[in-house]
Amino acid sequence: MSIRSLFQACLLSPLASVALAKPLVGRSGTFAESQRLADPSYGPIPGQDPVFSTYYGVEAPFPGNLKDPILPTKQGPPGVDDQVWQNLLSAEWIIFSFYQQAVEAFNETSFIKAGMPNSTYKRIQEIRNNEAGHLRIFQTLISPTSIKPGGCKYQFPFYDPISFLALVTVLEVSSMAFLTGLVQQTQLATSQGAMIAIAETEARHEVWSLIEIWKTNPFGGPSDTTFPYANQILDTTTAFIVPGSCPKLNPQYPSPRQGLPALSATHDTKSLTPGSTIGLNFTDPTNQPQFASGQDYYAVFFHGIANISVPINTTGFPEEIIRVTIPKEFETKGVIAAVIADTPGAPTKETVVAGPGIILEQPAELATQLI
């Protein structure tokens, strides 16, 4: 099977191969030990301890081995940015566990046999370490009056090194779109600075994947794509969470959650490059968009710092597939985020009725699917 076909199969059926993914293993700390994390000086400190960059063991590094939620230690109102950091911490548990599962499932030889550089497994471990550091940073940025979410159980649609690396690229490239949205949700300048610092690290992961793994140009144009409704992107990651596996004390993820219909491309879509016509598929049969008679609807495509709205015909839905042409004005760089909205430009999150989907433009081998 070609890389393109394999990757398309993974994303067209996001959970089709999860039974083959290995569960997260390794020593887990006790609930009492997790509560010690409420003290920001407990354990290794990101930026000061090399465990967050150059640890090459298989077992989950601190604090990834302490998955219980951390209870508040003080009474009082939540910090002004606590909800944003809670959302990001819950998302970080997903990303950390994604890399941790790969560290456990594969080894250095696995990637070499797949034709990847000799250093690939070590780079995956180092990214895993960075993500563990993000866990700790986000825990310390949530005020002591709010709960700090714990980890759930997760399943991911990879089953060999190539399918894993394809998903790495999608997650790392698309993460820039939701991080730019999350920055807009924070109120404190210190929160904004911290989030940008994290985004810069994620950008390095993205560049490594594009250059070393796919041997492609990493430059994505003059601006990464900014998508204003980060929680809508975070909502799509709930597909990786094993239902019922999250700690009962965890806050809702993401919060607030709209629960919009998921958006993907139909199987007969040939290309997702600008100027191509695509079919829209709402993948969850139990969560379909409701289009009001007489209401105009639009496919809104976000790329760079701009968006373009394209009118769509919904009168035949659901019997007829909705088709739309990706704006030809966009260059084939970076990512395009797409939503269905009832107002041109989707000026508020309430105007979005389905999506978002992320169209990956780089590398060309993987630019096959809207997720």
State the pLDDT at residue 164: 96
Token pair for 118: 């000799």
In sequence order, the 6+-apart residues with CB closer than 8 A to the CB of 245 are: 152, 153, 154
State the pLDDT at residue 328: 97
State the pLDDT at residue 25: 35
Q: Give per-10-residue mean pLDDT for the chain (371 aa).
A: 38 30 48 95 96 97 97 97 98 98 98 97 98 98 98 96 93 81 93 95 93 92 92 94 97 96 92 94 94 97 96 96 97 93 98 94 69 43
Helices and strands per DSSP (H, E), number in the chain: 9, 7
Residue extents of the structural domains in the chain: 3-240, 264-360
Q: Which CATH architecture has domain 264-360?
A: Sandwich (2.60)
Give me the residues paired with residue 70 across strands: 148
State the pLDDT at residue 12: 34
In sequence order, the 6+-apart residues with CB closer than 8 A to the CB of 13 are: 157
Question: 297-300 long-range contacts, Cβ below 8 Å, gap at least 24?
Answer: 297/340, 297/341, 297/342, 297/353, 298/340, 298/341, 298/342, 298/343, 298/344, 298/346, 299/324, 299/338, 299/339, 299/340, 300/338, 300/339, 300/340, 300/341, 300/344, 300/345, 300/346, 300/352
Global pTM reads 0.91
Q: Residue 129: how many CA atoms within 13 Å on its side-chain side?
A: 20
Task: Give the number of other Cβ atoms within 10 Å of residue 31's Cβ.
Answer: 15
